[in-house]
């Protein structure tokens, strides 16, 4: 690729970045300086925006780069993620509409608002916010890494990894801190459409170049038959481990905010019903990964396979537009996670401790949190050589520990703060232990650390709750009744 091509790619990406910042500024001008507007878009997002907001959170660089990289390097095992997406849609409806009902009725803005109200404990709000914050930052790091790869490969090294990541980080920082959740939602619509176009059209071209689906599989059967079987320490480990990504993703702070932001239950139901179908793009990713093994067999970074194939086999201007879809995938996740952290900091820590602070100060604290979070994640991204998909799984293993406590607050009148705290802390301790110091015989099972955490979390939560009493049974019963009573059908 010559230098002119690199500049064309750079130009296309610059136009895209400019558009995102313009949307952020537009959202700022249209928005009100209230916490509800900045944090949950005034609870006014319709079905279309809710769908693309959820898709943007869920469909990250993991989908655009990580899936291709996994198929390229490790083969067909990644298809287990199809069911992960199916679970995600189902959970979005089962949990999401109930969270929405409570948020709407009681004015909740953060995950901690709901948890403190139900369990009657400020301590649990702080602990939960700290845990969600710690485990969300690595996920932002993953997305920044993805953006850096795309930038570097699409400009043929003209923009190195560190600079590309930095530009993307700053772009998200600007538009998210300007427009809050509204900016995230509106940019996500553009990004989601671009991402979908990128995966399907870019994928179709690559598959055609490699000879079509049947020829690709036939060739892989001859060259790398091991890519067509499930490979892992154990079969069970792989099949059961992937759904932890859905469990962690659905209770990530950004998804809870998405639930609050919807205008109606209907918006969440339609989103939950249709979102899993986007996972069919993993089939495209499978053929892209296999095409890569045939056309460019010795990549040092498997995650960059789609970028490399596009740059090599399609016209530069076209490839750049498709790759902007990849940047969209990363940015649409980064913006919401950074925004979610701003809510955790501003609402769960600062506002919770000093309830007299003004709405505009809450918003400004949130903006500062976005800046600090993104810079921290950027520096972490410069350090990590791991598979994108792998880091994503680690991050969601941690956030998944929130699931039992949230489910308790929506369905179980005997859930208590003591049980919730015991389960949460026990689950996190086990997750960290199994992630960083696993005994060899358990590691050999190949089960993600989040499942081990839940194995400790759930029994602790149940047993300790049964041994203690809810702080205010009348209130607890009222909240559960409100969560389970449809506002509309």
Pick the closer one to another protein by CB: 79 or 140.
79
Nearest distance from C-beta of residue 239 to another protein, angstroms? 5
SS (H, E, C) 88-111: HHHHHHHCHHHHHHHHHHHCCCCH
Among 89, 198, 302, 453, binds another protein (CB under 8 A): 89
Nearest distance from C-beta of residue 431 to another protein, angstroms? 24
Among 44, 193, 201, 274, binds another protein (CB under 8 A): 274
User: How far out from the chain centre does Cα 382 lie?
Assistant: 20
Pick the closer one to another protein by CB: 79 or 341.
79
Strand, helix or coil at 121?
coil
Among 19, 170, 270, 372, binds another protein (CB under 8 A): 270
Which residues have C-beta within 8 Å of that of residue 58, sequence separation ≥ 6?
85, 88, 249, 275
Angle between helices 111-119 and 96-106 (to 10 degrees): 80
User: Any idea how long the chain is?
Assistant: 489
Segment contacting another protein (CB under 8 A): 72-80, 132-140, 184-192, 388-396? 72-80
Measured between alpha carbons, how far is residue 473 from residues 60, 119, 120, 412, 434 in Å? 41, 10, 11, 11, 36
Among 44, 134, 170, 283, binds another protein (CB under 8 A): 283
Structure tokens at 44: 């006014």
Pick the closer one to another protein by CB: 268 or 369.
268
Nearest distance from C-beta of residue 8 to another protein, angstroms? 34
277 contacts another protein (rule: CB under 8 A): yes
Pick the closer one to another protein by CB: 7 or 48.
48
Among 44, 90, 190, 361, binds another protein (CB under 8 A): 90
* Closest to 50 in 3D by CA, of 58, 251, 82: 58
404 contacts another protein (rule: CB under 8 A): no
Among 230, 299, 371, 375, binds another protein (CB under 8 A): 230
Residues 191, 332: contact at Cβ < 8 Å? yes
Structure tokens at 312: 């090599």
* Closest to 126 in 3D by CA, of 464, 479, 480, 420: 420
Nearest distance from C-beta of residue 216 to another protein, angstroms? 8
Pick the closer one to another protein by CB: 75 or 252.
75
Among 15, 22, 204, 221, binds another protein (CB under 8 A): 221
Nearest distance from C-beta of residue 486 to another protein, angstroms? 5
276 contacts another protein (rule: CB under 8 A): yes
How many whole angstroms separate alpha carbon 25 and alpha carbon 195?
22
For 180, counting Cβ atoms within 10 Å of its Cβ (0-12 exposed, 13-18 middle, 19+ buried), the class is: buried
Residues in contact with another protein by the rule CB under 8 A:
76, 79-80, 82-83, 85-86, 89-90, 93-94, 212-214, 217-218, 220-221, 225, 228-230, 235-236, 239, 269-270, 272-274, 276-277, 279-280, 283, 286, 484-486, 489
């Amino acid at each position: 690729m010559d230098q002119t091509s690199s500049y064309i790619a750079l130009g296309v990406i610059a136009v895209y970045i400019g558009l995102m910042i313009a949307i952020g500024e537009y959202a700022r001008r249209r928005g009100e300086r209230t916490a509800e507007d900045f944090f949950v878009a005034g609870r006014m997002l319709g079905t279309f925006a809710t769908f693309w907001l959820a898709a943007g959170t869920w469909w990250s660089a993991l989908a655009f780069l990580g899936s291709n990289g996994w198929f390229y390097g490790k083969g067909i095992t990644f298809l287990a993620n199809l069911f992960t997406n199916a679970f995600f849609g189902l959970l979005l409806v089962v949990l999401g509409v109930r969270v929405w009902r409570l948020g709407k009725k009681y004015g909740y803005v953060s995950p901690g608002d709901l948890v403190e109200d139900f369990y009657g404990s400020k301590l649990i709000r702080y602990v939960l916010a700290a845990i969600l914050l710690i485990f969300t930052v690595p996920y932002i790091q993953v997305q920044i890494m993805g953006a850096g790869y795309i930038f570097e490969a699409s400009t043929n090294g003209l923009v190195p990894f560190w600079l590309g990541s930095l530009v993307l980080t700053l772009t998200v920082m600007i538009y998210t801190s300007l427009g809050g959740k509204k900016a995230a939602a509106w940019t996500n619509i553009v990004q989601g459409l671009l991402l979908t176009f990128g995966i399907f059209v870019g994928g179709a071209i690559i598959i055609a170049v490699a000879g079509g689906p049947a020829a690709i599989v036939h060739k892989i059967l001859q060259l790398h038959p091991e890519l067509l079987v499930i490979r892992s320490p154990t079969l069970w480990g792989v099949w059961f481990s992937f759904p932890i990504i859905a469990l962690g993703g659905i209770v990530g702070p950004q998804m809870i905010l998405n639930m609050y932001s919807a205008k109606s239950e209907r918006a969440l139901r339609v989103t939950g019903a249709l979102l899993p179908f986007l996972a069919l793009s993993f089939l495209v990713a499978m053929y892209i990964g296999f095409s890569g093994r045939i056309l460019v067999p010795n990549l040092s970074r498997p995650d960059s396979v789609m970028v490399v194939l596009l740059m090599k086999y399609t016209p530069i201007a076209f490839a750049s537009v498709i790759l902007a879809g990849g940047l969209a995938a990363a940015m649409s996740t980064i913006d919401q996670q950074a925004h979610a952290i701003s809510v955790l900091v501003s609402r769960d820590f600062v506002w919770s401790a000093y309830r007299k602070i003004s709405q505009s100060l809450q918003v400004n604290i949130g903006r500062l949190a976005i800046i600090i979070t993104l810079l921290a994640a950027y520096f972490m991204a410069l350090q990590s050589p791991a598979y994108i998909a792998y880091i994503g799984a680690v991050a969601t293993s941690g956030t998944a520990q929130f699931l039992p406590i949230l489910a308790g607050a929506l369905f179980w009148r005997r859930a208590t703060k003591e049980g919730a705290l015991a389960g949460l802390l026990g689950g996190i301790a086990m997750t960290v232990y199994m992630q960083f110091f696993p005994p060899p015989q358990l590691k050999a099972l190949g089960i993600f650390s989040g499942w081990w955490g839940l194995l400790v979390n759930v029994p602790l939560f149940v047993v300790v709750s049964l041994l203690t009493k809810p702080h205010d049974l009348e209130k607890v019963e009222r909240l559960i009744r409100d969560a389970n009573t449809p506002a509309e059908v």
